[in-house]
Amino acid sequence: MQKILSEYPNPQFQRDSYISLNGEWEYKISKNPAIPDSFDGKILVPFSPEVELSGVNHLLLPDEYLFYKLEFEVDDDFVKDKVFLHFLGVDQIAEVYLNGAYLGKHIGGYLPFKFEIKDKLEKKNVLIVKVQDLSDTSYHSRGKQKLEHGGIWYTPQSGIYFPVYLESVPNEYVENNRLTPDIDNSSLTINVTSKANKCLINIQNKDIEIDCNKDVVIKIDNMHLWTTSDPYLYPLVIKIGEDIVKSYFAMRKFSIVEVNGIKRFALNNKPIFMKGVLDQGYYKKGYLTPESYDDYIKDIELAKSLGFNTIRKHIKIEIPRWYYECDKRGIIVWQDFVNGGETYNSFCITLPLFSHFHFKDNHYKMFARTNIEGRKEAIEEFKQTVKYLYNFPSIALWTIFNEGWGQFDVKEIMPQLQELDKTRIFNHVSGWHDQKIGETKSMHVYFQKVRLPRKKDRCIILSEFGGLVLPIKDHLMEGNSVYKKFTSKEEFVNAYEKMINRDVLRHIPKGLSASIYTQLSDVEEETNGFITFDREIIKVDPSIIKKINDKLSI
């Protein structure tokens, strides 16, 4: 079977017991919801049928069903007491069957799920996955996917778009772990979830036996802090019987401090200007899915070479491997939650860009959140996102809502999320519809000069700005970008430097604490990236942009 993205997808929680199921599967697209007897052809998993790399090139409509079939065998020596079947991303509603037995259903396209399958395994196995994608016709989380795509909204994709794999473990195994660094007390709090009472951890080359299912504080000797220039990661091994999990952690702290009456972001208690770039995480051949993990590395290293120390992961949840590459390379991450809701009202999501109107987000109809089940589902997904990504050191900030897209009740939601994660900053809304809560005041500014709010009682962040366009012939998709275009590299660089000086640099002494330029790469018609959608052309010399960005500091 052809293998693609077959490396272990989660270096933060890694076992040797691993079988990748990525590769060629059979598929069928039908309006009949019954499992078919025959299939149409081959699809390369984990690429959606909409994308070039899948080999299918079909846009799944809301009234269609996508069926996958995989036949596989598992060696006896792989099988222990339990076998888990993992899916890291299936968009949007998935039902899974193994050897004719129904395993379960998962709703939501952006979070992982798994099934324990030991009792269903046979010598030869048949795995069936049935998928329906309602895209933006329902209230489920959809990100930037839209059936009538264009501008800032992208071609929808469906089905399996992140890795699928098997793991096998004994009865008592490491179910989960939670790692909380505390640099002020030179300690790490670890909580290992297991049916076992005890586990053995190896930390700083010392074996320590600890209790499971409770917070245990471990002293860290000669603490080596994680910084953007020195992203030191401590190896960590957790062992319960024959189950061994390799992990890592970092000693770092993100907070907000007051400097001369101004609230500033801080890394390890020292003020830092978080100069960032917006990253949509889309690739021309695979859309939400990279062709290889090298694509992740190249994008992160490009951001660093351009002089950015922060990436805002915009309206997408990546697989753990991406966050690991950020941890390893010293890139700070701002992580957005994924938006959902019904059909958006342009008066609510677009007009504030020019009018600066802000509405209370309990007006559910205005914010396209009338469905109570949709609101409950969104809150649960936000909580799952925090739990899923909690251990990654590079994540500094969570963005709950962006530009009013399906926003609701954030005053009630934010305290629930803060209870789950007391180590990071929460930006309750990005752009507009500020509910005047939290530690941050976020602005999106396009087509106008940046003006800071008079009131400086919160940390002021320019969480989106810029959007300058340098089109590259033969590397464009049909359609027009919504941003300002330039015809030469020199014009683009001059405009970028002028904008940085006018809208960012001069505002830092006045209270601006972070900026996020839009954006890292082109995406379909949105051509305001530093690199083309196909990743073939870096539009300007990164060292020139870095020299401009290097001026941004506190």
The tens digit of pLDDT for each residue in 308-319 reads 999 999 999 999
Residues 273, 394, single domain; the answer is yes
Q: Does position 283 have pLDDT exceeding 80, yes or no? A: yes
Answer yes or no: is 436 within a domain.
yes
Answer yes or no: is 13 within a domain.
no
Residues 65, 129, single domain; the answer is yes
Contact between residue 225 and residue 183 where contact means Cβ atoms under 8 Å apart: yes
d(CA 203, CA 208): 8
Answer yes or no: is 212 within a domain.
yes
Residues 348, 464, single domain; the answer is yes
Q: Which residue has the tokens 């949509």?
A: 280
Residues 210, 76, single domain; the answer is no
Residues 233, 101, single domain; the answer is no
Domains of the chain: total:
3
Residues 419, 463, single domain; the answer is yes
The pLDDT, as a whole number, for residue 48 is 98
Residues 374, 423, single domain; the answer is yes
Residues 422, 286, single domain; the answer is yes
Rounded to the nearest integer, the mean pLDDT of the chain is 96
Residues 276, 220, single domain; the answer is no
Residues 401, 448, single domain; the answer is yes
Range of weakest confidence among 93-97, 116-120, 289-293, 478-482: 478-482
Domain containing 181 equals 176-241
For 177, the 3-state DSSP assignment is: strand
The pLDDT, as a whole number, for residue 447 is 85
Residues 30, 124, single domain; the answer is yes
> Would the pTM count as exceeding 0.95?
yes
d(CA 506, CA 126): 62
User: In the chain, pLDDT over 70 holds for what percent of residues?
Assistant: 99
Q: What is the pLDDT of residues 405-433, one digit of tens each?
A: 999 999 999 999 999 999 999 999 999 99
Q: Does position 77 have pLDDT exceeding 90, yes or no? A: yes
Answer yes or no: is 8 within a domain.
no
The DSSP string of 422-470 is: SSSEEEEEESS---S-SSEEEEEE-SS-----S--SSEEEEEEEE--B-
Answer yes or no: is 233 within a domain.
yes
2: confidence class by pLDDT, cuts 50, 70, 90: low
Residues 156, 269, single domain; the answer is no
The pLDDT, as a whole number, for residue 481 is 65
Q: Does position 288 have pLDDT exceeding 80, yes or no? A: yes
d(CA 219, CA 187): 4
Average pLDDT over residues 28-44: 97
The pLDDT, as a whole number, for residue 464 is 98
Q: What is the pLDDT of residues 493-512, one digit of tens each?
A: 999 999 999 999 999 999 99
Q: Does position 482 have pLDDT exceeding 90, yes or no? A: no
| Phi-psi group of 516: left, alpha or beta (phi > 0 → left; psi -120 to 50 → alpha; rest → beta) | beta
d(CA 460, CA 336): 18
The domain boundary residue, chosen from 184, 213, 241: 241
The pLDDT, as a whole number, for residue 1 is 52
Answer yes or no: is 299 within a domain.
yes
Average pLDDT over residues 451-472: 94
Residue 335, preceding peptide bond in cis (omega within 30° of 0): no
Answer yes or no: is 154 within a domain.
yes
The domain boundary residue, chosen from 109, 137, 169: 169
For 291, the 3-state DSSP assignment is: coil
The domain boundary residue, chosen from 241, 265, 285: 241
Q: Does position 340 have pLDDT exceeding 70, yes or no? A: yes
The pLDDT, as a whole number, for residue 102 is 98
Q: Does position 186 have pLDDT exceeding 70, yes or no? A: yes
For residue 425, what is the domain's CATH number?
A: 3.20.20.80
For residue 103, what is the domain's CATH number?
A: 2.60.120.260
Answer yes or no: is 290 within a domain.
yes
